[in-house]
Amino acid sequence: MSLPEYASIITQCYAGLNGEINGQLMRDWYCAHSMDEIMKADECSDEMVIAEKGEEFLKEIAELLGECVESKLSNDKKRK
* Local confidence band at 71 (pLDDT 50, 70, 90 cut-offs): confident
What's the confidence (pLDDT) of residue 15?
Answer: 92
CA separation for the pair 47, 67 (Å, rounded): 22
First to last CA, the chain: 28
Reply yes or no on whether the pLDDT at 70 is more than 90: no
Mean pLDDT of 7-17: 91
Burial class of 46 by CB neighbour count within 10 A (0 to 12, 13 to 18, 19+)? middle
Reported as a single tens digit per residue, the pLDDT across 13-64 is: 999 998 788 888 888 999 999 999 999 999 999 999 999 999 998 998 888 8
pLDDT of residue 80: 58
